[in-house]
Amino acid sequence: MWLTDPEMATRPAPTVTLKSLAVPNEHGCWGFTLEPVILGLLVAPSAAGWGLGLMALASFFARHPTKLAAGDLRRGHVYPRTRLALFFALLYGGLALAGLLLAWLTGERAFLTPLLAALPLVVLQV
């Protein structure tokens, strides 16, 4: 039986790479996230635009570690990856909040309506 295999006891524990937690592996989504940000900044550069761009990029990066950490904690397990995933989720979340704050302080607040409309969908993703 595979559970009693003596070789299993001598195998090293799997290691966690930072890249697998910190960098999203959804390659097509990079374009969906970055292209509108870059185009918007080229057409109408502003500090608020940079803030919204930072918020969009940081939110995109935060999704993967947040899902990993939330799933582990929901199951009641704390793996070595869980702490790192929480760290990156909080780091990217902080950058997203910094971008939102920059946009809030330097621009008009018309961007809040679409963000608030999308909030329920964001909550469903986590």
| pLDDT tens track for 50-88 | 999 999 999 999 999 999 999 999 999 898 899 999 999
Distances (CA, A) of 117 to 50, 76, 88, 99: 21, 32, 26, 18
**Residue pair 88/21 in contact by the 8 Å Cβ criterion:** yes
User: pLDDT at residue 118 above 60?
Assistant: yes
**Residue pair 27/78 in contact by the 8 Å Cβ criterion:** no
Within 10 A of 57 (CB to CB), how many other CB atoms are there?
18
Return the pLDDT at 26. Answer: 77
Structural domain boundaries in the chain: 47-126
Q: How confident is the model over 24-46, as a mean pLDDT?
A: 89
* Backbone φ and ψ of 6, nearest 5°: -65, -25
Of the candidates 54, 56, 58, 80, which has an alpha carbon nearest to the alpha carbon of residue 69?
Answer: 80
When comparing pLDDT for 27 and 110, which is higher?
110
DSSP category for residue 117: H
pLDDT in tens, 5-34: 555 455 566 677 888 888 888 777 888 889
Q: pTM for this one? A: 0.80
Return the pLDDT at 83. Answer: 92
